Structure 1
């Protein structure tokens, strides 16, 4: 049986930092399934910042381009939306337009029986419009992100969770809260592109130009540099106490939070905010990190967050120093945990001294072995199998299929 996928994303396809949305879409397409990927519909009202204005301009260009084929079996469309989702009338207009185009493009692409796979917590109005099965892949507590219409998202998220056939949640906190609403909810933690980030360990790269004049160890972070995610005060205090080390941050400043202010970090000469880099280039930078960081705030958002970069770091065999993130509790034995600046500095020193430990090779192998268990192909196999189980429970009409080929 031919099955297609319509993926309602909260991340634009061309964002250089891929999340589970792009990874799953690409791998489904690689397996031979037709995939229609909808770029973010914009949950947060735009500000007057240059970043938001630039995104609006890019979105307008994307709308005029229409359907774009990115690879074999995968097409991307940028929904036409009024960027004020807090208003119910605006949401209804947005979803009316999106429903029309989903029907138009699925017909154009000759989709016969498609699964609607959504990441957007307010997307319930897109259900029951032609799909044979629906999935809510709950990867964040979006309502608590800065600038979001919190009450609207909470209410709509609950409606969506109740209405879909299956829910996948990427953290234990998300799993528990959604399971109370929909009994067909599964815990499915984030994973990593193991082969891609293993290149940092097995290939030889030239030193990135930005690192050439750096003396001393490089302590690095790859990801969104946003005030609600990262603890800037902690980073500042640790970098100030370790002037002989270089603290490198690769990522978009203000991703998801245009009000982010990094002026505190810019006060220190050993903190380098070098901006985003292409996905294919990330292993080259990671290879030259001596220690990797997860210096996150501990708040309602990060309580429900399972950072994909954790397994990316492990795939490279790198030591990780991090704040005690709830979702990673079962992996504390594979990293260094610190909850204040003094402890963070001490753990970085321990991590840098690993090569002098008698169990150094075992440390590296344990990280790699664990990361290998959490790769995208095995995770997609598992999720597709769970969809089949749920379909049986619901007496659906998808038919019998193998997890690797539906």
Structure 2
């Protein structure tokens, strides 16, 4: 029997033009010889056109409209009453197929928890990539606590229904085991990398860096979100005017004043959102990859997608407040700091600056990244499903 895989995702496929773990998982399953169909099920603030659309990659996207368009109403994604009826067309579609195909449900965030209970799924899998109950900015508030309680209840239901749970960090695995005392079905699989895409793509994006600039470029690629330490980047930028800070990705801060303030620095350049196919070209503009995360409970659980992408491109990397990545710390390859001290940041980058083009270190970085290819990660996961 071939499989139909339903993947519960956080937003529509092209949202912010970013490619997350769930996108790679969906494409891996879509290309698997045992797959009949992959359905990308996601919430949408505003319904545009039909609720189901066949994407150019063959994946079938189904959208469920939020309670109301404003972001504050997204809590409805975790409450049965707001999506029970809207899920019925999908369930009718699946019921017609269940005699011919094995139908599996993959949660990549704890939305639509009732879905795990109202259909006879062959398998339910939870692929947990974030500490969903924790505010991304690290700040507690009444709305944050309200959101935490709702999401925690939804996640508990999904964890109980899941036959297997995958986590992107040991911290997340520990948190899941607090909800589910069953070590035999909870596994850690860190994020991987499309190795060939970054390791064998020498093209540089043109007309981005200032004319005649020949200094060191420190770069971050990904969603610009409150989990980053904008104050730290600003302080370092002011102290090291000869460095250029290149930020590549959409603004996910909701116009946070600290991010806006950072962009006033003459040696900070923000590109905004870029096409996923262009990301390697931007990567090739960077000398040192930076992951300047702030200290928060949310970031304790994070395993950044960009770590192995930087390394696959041969770039040295500096990460901050990312305990899940410490095990990969290696001289001239990856440096991790448990502090947001600007002087330590500068000292590390000055050391990395001196060996940025050293062939032996470039080879070592790529060698490490090659062991984390996405297809191999997903092959190992699928063996446990």
Partner of 2:60 in structure 1?
Answer: 75
- Over 3 Å counting, the alpha-carbon distance change for 1:233 and 1:206 in structure 2 is closer
Could you list the runs of 5+ residues in structure 2 that have no partner in the other structure? Answer: 137-142
TM superposition shift of 1:165: 1.1
- Change in Cα spacing, 1:154 to 1:207, as seen in structure 2 (3 Å) is closer
Cα deviation 1:54-80 (Å, max 9, x = unaligned) = xx4xx321xx23321124542112212
Q: CA deviation at 1:85?
A: 4.9
User: Quick one: distance in 2 between partners of 1:26 and 1:326?
Assistant: 29
Q: Partner residue of 1:251?
A: 249
1:325-370 per-residue CA deviation (whole Å, 9 max, x = no partner) reads 11101011131234310011111111110058xxx33322221111
Q: Structure 1 residue aligned with 2:84, among 67, 81, 96?
A: 96
Give the alignment's TM-score, normalised by structure 1: 0.83
1:273 and 1:355 mapped to 2: Cα distance?
Answer: 22
Alignment of 1:275-314 (within 5 A): 275-314=272-311
In 2: Cα distance, 1:127 partner to 1:26 partner: 22
Q: CA RMSD in A?
A: 2.2
**CA 76–264 in structure 1, closer or farther in 2 if over 3 Å, else same:** same
Task: Return the alpha-carbon distance in structure 2 between the equivalents of residues 101 and 197 of structure 1.
Answer: 40
Q: Answer with 292-301 or 75-84: which moved more.
A: 75-84
Partner residue, 1:173: 171
Residues 295-347 of structure 1 deviation map (CA, whole Å, 9 limit, x = unaligned): 11120111011101111111101011221411101011131234310011111
Distance 2:264 2:160 in 1: 48
Q: Distance in 2 between matches of 1:218 and 1:109?
A: 53
Q: Is the 8 A contact 2:243 2:267 kept in 1?
A: yes
* SS of alignment partner, residue 106 of structure 2: strand
Residue 130 of structure 1: aligned partner: 120
Please tell me whether the aligned partners of residues 322 and 337 of structure 1 are also in contact (alpha carbons under 8 angstroms). yes
Alpha-carbon distance change, 92 to 159 in structure 1, aligned in 2, over 3 angstroms? closer
Is 1:118 the counterpart of 2:117? The answer is no
The answer for the alignment partner of 2:209 in structure 1 is 211
Equivalence for 1:350? 351
With normalisation by structure 2, the TM-score equals 0.87
Instruction: Answer whether contact 2:300 2:321 (CA < 8 A) is retained.
Output: no
Residue in 2 that maps onto 1:140: 130
- More divergent stretch after superposition (145-154 vs 188-197): 145-154
1:159 CA displacement: 2.3
- How many Å separate the matches in 2 of 1:368 and 1:195? 10
2:139 alignment partner in structure 1:
none
Aligned length: 359
